[in-house]
Amino acid sequence: MEKLRKILSYFDIPKGAYQFEFISNGLINDTFLVKEGCESNYILQKINTSVFKNVNGLVKNIAIILSQLDHTAYEKVHLINTKTGKPILNWENEIWRLMNYIPDSHVYNTTNDVQIAFETGKILGLFHNLVKGLHPQELEITIQNFHNLTYRYAQFLEAYENASDTHLQEAYHEIDFVKNNISTLLSIDFDKIPLRICHNDTKLNNVLFSIDKKALCLIDLDTLMPGFFLYDFGDAIRTLVNPVTEDERDLSLIMFDKMMFSSFLKGLKKSGLKFTQTERESLHFGAILMPFLHGIRALTDYLEKNKYYKVAYANQNLDRCKSLFRFAELAVENTNFMKEEIQNRFEILE
Ligand code: GN1
Ligand code: MG
């Protein structure tokens, strides 16, 4: 608490009797809600610099994108400068930043509310519409090969070679799942899909909502990078269409909720975002690729004894992997449904 108070004192905000509440959603950075009495005022965050090695690039990307997000239907979370006018604080080799808190805003970790799905589609489309005027190469790469499955598979193979027998036994079925499915997933041709500026972490709890369930904006802009729309599509679908969290242990609760999928598409359509034909044809694949890719990453980290993600217990990464792979299976089963829905809704192509 004393340390947090000290860190906060470097930022250019009014003096106050601030309290700190740890927010446990994120798996990488350390996040605190800064409150004064009952009122929430700021979000204070320590950036994990072993994951985000290019902090200057990250800060530059956020500034570029925030300057594009001016729209009456888009509420911005911005960085608050330090007293010396810097967007981040370098304090004893730790990197901290402070952001405004939008009053009464909140996130959903899971939902089965179709209005939330509609709003998520709409805000994602609006975000892409607002940033599409920029050239993707204007952004710096904050994490190399972030959504590159070839690279993630290579990392997995290395972890597999070095894993303990116990870990290999415990993860026997998941390792098998990777081996059985990897070649199909790697065979997808990305060549003709246009590169866009993507958020690259559009899970449901990175969408901020107002009390009356209106989506306000996307948060967590650290992975803004060039990418394919199917990435953002897939991350939204895997967290919206499935009513339970990504570390759910009861696999029978994992579902592919078609109504939620359709509502998300309706919202996306409402935003007016347009796709090329190859892009439109690739979207359903995002809903399969992203849970698979996150599953491989979780499995790799499990085999490496939790070096990367924060975990609440030793097998949490394995539980995440099982649940993500189960959702990937359900997405495969729903391929035709997804293709038809996408085709029916997005007839006008650029
Ligand atoms: C990590 O920390 P958080 O929750 O924003 C990860 C994402 C995953 C997510 C959950 C930089 O994000 O890719 O979607 O966990 N971010 C990074 O699976 O690795
Ligand atoms: Mg993130």
In sequence order, what DSSP letters do the residues of 29-79 get, joined into one string? Answer: SEEEEEEETTEEEEEEEEE-TTT---HHHHHHHHHHHHTT--BTTBPPP-E
Whether ipTM > 0.90 holds is: yes
Quote the pLDDT of residue 1: 83
Residue 241 φ/ψ, nearest 5 degrees: -85, -15
Query: Mutation test of ligand 1: which of 28, 233, 246 has the most ligand atoms closer than 8 Å to its C-beta?
Result: 28
Check if 326 has its Cβ closer than 6 Å to any atom of ligand 1: no
Q: Which residues of the chain have pLDDT under 50?
A: none
Q: Nearest CA to 247 among 188, 308, 315, 331?
A: 315
Check if 238 has its Cβ closer than 6 Å to any atom of ligand 1: no
Q: Nearest CA to 322 among 342, 344, 299?
A: 299
Quote the pLDDT of residue 349: 64
Region of residue 229 (phi > 0: left; psi between -120 and 50: alpha; otherwise: beta):
alpha
Q: How far is the CA of 28 from the centre of ligand 1 (A)?
A: 7
How many CA atoms within 13 Å lie on the side-chain side of 90?
6
| Alpha-carbon gap, residue 66 to 233, rounded angstroms | 21
Nearest-CA residue for atom 7 of ligand 1: 201
Atom of ligand 1 nearest to the CA of 324: 18
- Closest-approaching ligand to the CA atom of 204: 1
Nearest-CA residue for atom 9 of ligand 1: 27
Quote the pLDDT of residue 164: 98
Q: Nearest CA to 43 among 126, 99, 110?
A: 99
Nearest-CA residue for atom 10 of ligand 1: 27
Atom of ligand 1 nearest to the CA of 222: 11
Q: How far is the CA of 236 from the centre of ligand 2 (A)?
A: 13
Both tokens assigned to 227: 């990418």
| One-letter identity of residue 304 | E
Quote the pLDDT of residue 348: 60
Check if 203 has its Cβ closer than 6 Å to any atom of ligand 1: yes
Check if 201 has its Cβ closer than 6 Å to any atom of ligand 1: yes
Nearest-CA residue for atom 4 of ligand 1: 26
Check if 28 has its Cβ closer than 6 Å to any atom of ligand 1: yes
pTM tops 0.90: yes
Check if 26 has its Cβ closer than 6 Å to any atom of ligand 1: yes
Query: Mutation test of ligand 1: which of 27, 146, 199 has the most ligand atoms closer than 8 Å to its C-beta?
Result: 27
